[in-house]
A and B are shown apart, each in its own frame.
Chain A
Amino acid sequence: MSTIKTENITKQFEGVHALDGVSLEIPRGRVTGIVGPNGSGKTTLVNVLSGIVRQDAGVLHIGGKEVSILKPQQVNAHGITRTFQEVRLFEQMTVLDNILVVVTERAVAASLFRRRQERCDREARQALETVGLWEKRSSPAAALSYGQRKLLEIARVLAMREAEVYLFDEPFAGLFPAMVDVVVKVMQGLKQEGKSVVLIEHSMDLIRQLCDTVIVMDEGKLLAQGTPETVFAKPEVIAIYVGK
C-alpha cells in the first residue's frame, strides 16, 4: 500500500518544466531512492511532497486522502517530514534546543508556563545519541561542522516520532564514512519501524544498499520506477545516468 501517490504533477519555473506530469507511488515501510542527473526535478519533487513548492497541476494522495494543495503548515499533520539539500537548522539555538523545539508542547499557554517535560528530554536525547551529537548538545547549531549540521538535521526529523514519511534530500553529501554509516543505520531503523523513507542520492552503491524501490527522473519526467536491479538494467536509464 502506498503512503504518497502523485498524479500528473507538473511544475514550471519561468517556462522550464521542472516536473512534467509525474505520477508515482511511494510505498509504505520501504526505502525509495530518487536518482537522476542534476536538474532532473528530484528536489522539486521533494519540495512538492513537503509543501515547499506548490505544483501548477496534478494531485497528491497522502495516506489515501486527496490533497490538491499541500501547505508547509499541513505537512506535519500529514505525517511528512524532511531534510534539505542545503541544511536548514535553527541557527540561533543550541543543538539540544533544535530538537526540543520539535518535540515539545504546541499549545501556547502550556508552552508558556510549563517547563520541559521528561518525555521531551528523553526523546531529544535519544535522537541526538542516535546520530552521535549528544555530547554537542550545548553548542550553538551555527558552531557545528558541515557533517554535524547534516546529522543534526537528521536528528531533528528522527525526533518527529509521529511522522510516517521521511524525505531526505542528499543526506550523505559531504559526510565522512563514519557519518555515512550512522545515516545508513538511521534509515534502516526507520524502515524496520515501518516508516516510509524517500532518499535523493547520487551514490549508486548507497542506493543499491538501502533502497527497495528506485525512481529515476530526467528532465522533469519519471523515467522508470522499480527495484534497483530492474531499473538499473533498463537501457534508457543506463543511457541517461548509469552510463555517464
Chain B
Amino acid sequence: MSDVVMQLVVNSITAGALYAIIAIGFTLSYGVGKFFNLAHGVMTAIGAYAVFYLTKGLQIEAWLAVFIAIIFTGAVGWLLERYIYAPLRARKASTMVLLVASLGAFTALQGVLSILFSSQVQTLTQGSAVQQVVAFAGATITEIQIITIITAIATLLGFVVLLRYTLFGKSVRAVSDDEEVSKIVGINTTRVIGVVFFLAAATAGLAGILVGFDTAIEPTMGMALLLKGVIAAIVGGIGNIYGAVLGALLLGFVENFGIWKIAGEWKDAIAFALLIAFLLFRPHGILNKKS
C-alpha cells in the first residue's frame, strides 16, 4: 500500500472517529426524543469554548477544564430538553415543531458564543505548542488524532455497556421503543430522556474539544460537525449506535478517498452525495434500528 493510500486510510479513520462521537449522541437523542435535535451541533462549540474560557481565561489545567466543559455542555443539553423540548412534547408538538425549536436553540446559543467570545477563529493549544506527530506505516498521525480515535472507541463501548448492561439502559431502550407504554409501566420517561440528552450533549462537547485541540474553534463550528454527524447517523441507520459508527467510518472513507484525485473543496459535496444515495436506495441505512 502506498504512503498516500495509507495516509488517506489514517485520515479517513480519524475523520470517521470524530463523526462517530457526534453521531452516537445525535442518534441516541433521536432514539428517545424522536426528532432531529439540531442544537446537538452547537454543543460542540459550547464544549470547545468552555475549555477555551477555563484554560485561557481562568488558567485552569487543561485536563480539569476538559472535564468541567464536558459536564457543562451536558448540563446545557439537559436544560434544553427540560425547559424547551419536554414542555413542547407535553403540548403534543409535532417533530417538525421540535426540529424548528432545536434550530432556534442552535442559532441562539451560537449567537451567545459570538457575543461572548467574538466570531474570530481561536485555538485551544497554547501559543507556540506544536502537536506531536507519530509516523505509522508510511503515514503520519497527530497525538490528538490518536486521542480522537481512542475517544470514539471508548464512547461506543461506554454507550454499549450503558444500554446493554445497566438497568438504566433498559429504560432508555424501552423509551426509544414506545414512550407511551414506558410511561404506563412506570418508567419516568422525562428523567430518562433528560439523562440521554445530557449524555448526548456531553459527547458532542467532547467532540468539539477534540476539534479545538486538533485545529481551531469558532462559534459557527457546530453546523459543519452537526451535518457530518447527521449524515453518519442516517447512513448508518438512525437510532442505532452501531450504525452511527459504521456510517461515520463510511463517511470518513468516502470523503477522504473521494478527494484523492480532486480538489478538497469537493469533500462536503461528496458527503452529501453519499447521503442522497442512501436516502434514495437504502433509506433505512446500513443497519436499521431493529437489526
Contacts and interface: CB of A to CB of B under 8 A. Distances in A.
Interface of A: 50-52, 71-73, 75-77, 81-82, 84, 88-93, 97, 100-102, 104-106, 108, 110-116, 142, 156, 160
Given A101-B174, A104-B170, 4 more contacts: A88-B178, A92-B173, A92-B290, A101-B185
Contact of B170 (A52, A88, A97): A97
The secondary-structure label for the interface of chain B is helix
Given A81-B185, A82-B184, A92 B289 contact: yes
A108 B192 contact: yes
B157 to A, nearest CB: 16
Contacts of B174: 90, 93, 101
Contacts of A75: 183-184
Interface in B155-199: 162, 166-168, 170-171, 173-174, 176-178, 180-192, 195
A160 to B, nearest CB: 7
A138 to B, nearest CB: 13
A90 B187 CA distance: 13
B180 A93 contact: no
A76 B290 CA distance: 28
Interface residues of B, number: 27
Contact of B185 (A93, A115, A160): A160
Interface of B: 162, 166-168, 170-171, 173-174, 176-178, 180-192, 195, 289-290
A93 B177 CA distance: 9
A25 B162 CA distance: 44
Contacts of B183: 51, 71-73, 75-76
Contact of A90 (B162, B166, B178): B178
A108 B172 CA distance: 11
A142 B185 CA distance: 19
Given A72-B180, A73-B183, A91-B290, A111 B167 contact: yes
A114 B167 contact: yes
A202 to B, nearest CB: 24
A73 B170 contact: no
A106 B188 contact: yes
A73 B188 contact: yes
A239 to B, nearest CB: 36
Contacts of B195: 108
